[in-house]
Amino acid sequence: MEILKVVNLKKYYGDVKAVDGISFTVERGTVFSLLGPNGAGKTTTVEILEGLRKKDEGEIYYFGEKKESLDSETKRKIGVCLQKSAFFDNLTVLETLKLFRGLYGKGLKLSEVVDLFQLEKIERRRVKTLSGGQLQRLAVAVAFINDPEIVFLDEPTTGLDPQARRQIWSVIEHFKNQGKTIFLTTHYMEEAEKLSDYVCIMDHGKIIAEGTPSSLINSSGLKTVVEFDSDQNVDVKYLEKKDGHYVVETDTPEDLIKELLRRWNVSNIVIRKPNLEDVFLKLTGRDLRE
């Protein structure tokens, strides 16, 4: 069952086509990821869906109903974690959770949120004393405080250490298993590949590819990369060779490795299959964009 449907959404700023006629559907109980390089139009799209920015054209359907703007009933069913969140500096973490919980009149138990996001050790600390990572964990927790049906997480793990990032992943999977829907934007392709049921890759205001992570990888035409070292001149077609270190692309890594071991003295063999990051870079280019 679809929880969100977008049809021909457009948002222009003069000659800049920030969102240029995109369409997609988000199914209930899934993690949907919108990916793209800086300037692709992701944040503008998300802000329109959250009711923070007005669209120029297009249709948006929430829970099967067309919405020209977000009414209070729809807002109560939505959770939002923005790229940057602002809280009252002198409130404690627990007081902040109580405040947002009270704005909705219903939601999750505070003890459940504190436990899920591992906020026990900082629940009595004032917001102004939190580190960047702790503040980000609080922002994600607030997004779930009203027990929403769909949660928008815009770069939710930015600034978190690997352990904290994995903990947020487990929380996302927990809520997904409860039938909640997660709309995710992230620059961490590993994160998107692990969590997403469906991915849309956006660039220059348009969706340029979509599908499950595995289908995008399988249809990309990318090959497996095999790296190895050898003190011999290995007679294979390679992408790179430097100081006896070879990088080779192949469709048949098992056959290549058998040949390498049979004919040459090789060591430090590493096999890397294509992943979502490889697909992303192939589609959007490798140049950094500001």
User: 185-223 pLDDT, tens per residue?
Assistant: 999 999 999 999 999 999 999 999 999 999 999 999 999
Q: With the CA atoms of 80, 81, 87 and 91 taken in that order, what torsion angle do they form, in degrees rounded to the nearest 10?
A: 90
Looking at the structure, tell me whether residues 76 and 172 fall in a common domain.
Answer: yes
Parallel, antiparallel, or unpaired: how do β-strands 31-35 and 57-62 relate?
unpaired
DSSP letters spanning 51-99: TSS--SEEEEEETTEE-SS--HHHHHTEEEE-SS----TTSBHHHHHHH
pLDDT of 8 strictly over 80: yes
pTM above 0.75, yes or no: yes
156: helix, strand or coil: coil
Parallel, antiparallel, or unpaired: how do β-strands 181-185 and 150-154 relate?
parallel
Rounded to whole angstroms, the Cα distance separating 261 from 265 reads: 7
Domain containing 81: what range? 2-218
Looking at the structure, tell me whether residues 203 and 243 fall in a common domain.
Answer: no
Q: Which helix H or strand E contains 258, and what residues bound it?
A: helix 253-263
Looking at the structure, tell me whether residues 187 and 240 fall in a common domain.
Answer: no
250: helix, strand or coil: strand
76 is a domain residue: yes
Buried b (16+ CB within 10 A) or exposed e, 254-275: eebbeebeeebebeebeeeebb
282 is a domain residue: no
Q: What backbone torsions phi and psi does residue 133 show, to the nearest 5 degrees? A: -65, -40
The sign of the CA dihedral 37, 42, 44, 47 is negative
Strand extents, DSSP E, the chain = 2-13, 16-27, 31-35, 57-62, 65-66, 78-81, 150-154, 181-185, 198-203, 206-211, 224-230, 240-242, 245-250, 266-272
280 is a domain residue: no
Looking at the structure, tell me whether residues 234 and 107 fall in a common domain.
Answer: no
Looking at the structure, tell me whether residues 249 and 150 fall in a common domain.
Answer: no
What is the per-residue pLDDT for 286? 62
- Angle in degrees, CA 166, 24, 75, rounded to 5: 70
Looking at the structure, tell me whether residues 252 and 185 fall in a common domain.
Answer: no
Give the domain-ending residue among 176, 198, 218.
Answer: 218
If you ran DSSP here, which 8-state letter would residue 287 be given?
A: S
24 is a domain residue: yes
In the block, tokens 């999750």 appear at: 108
How many structural domains does the chain have?
Answer: 2
264 is a domain residue: yes
Which CATH number covers residue 10? Answer: 3.40.50.300
What is the per-residue pLDDT for 288? 45
Q: Give pLDDT tens digits for 141-159.
A: 999 999 999 999 999 998 8
Confirm if 226 and 235 have CB atoms less than 8 A apart: no
195 is a domain residue: yes
If you ran DSSP here, which 8-state letter would residue 179 be given?
A: T
236 is a domain residue: yes
Name the residue among 11, 153, 139, 19 with its Cα closest to residue 78.
153
Rounded to whole angstroms, the Cα distance separating 79 from 141 reads: 10
244 is a domain residue: yes
What is the per-residue pLDDT for 289? 54
pLDDT of 290 strictly over 80: no
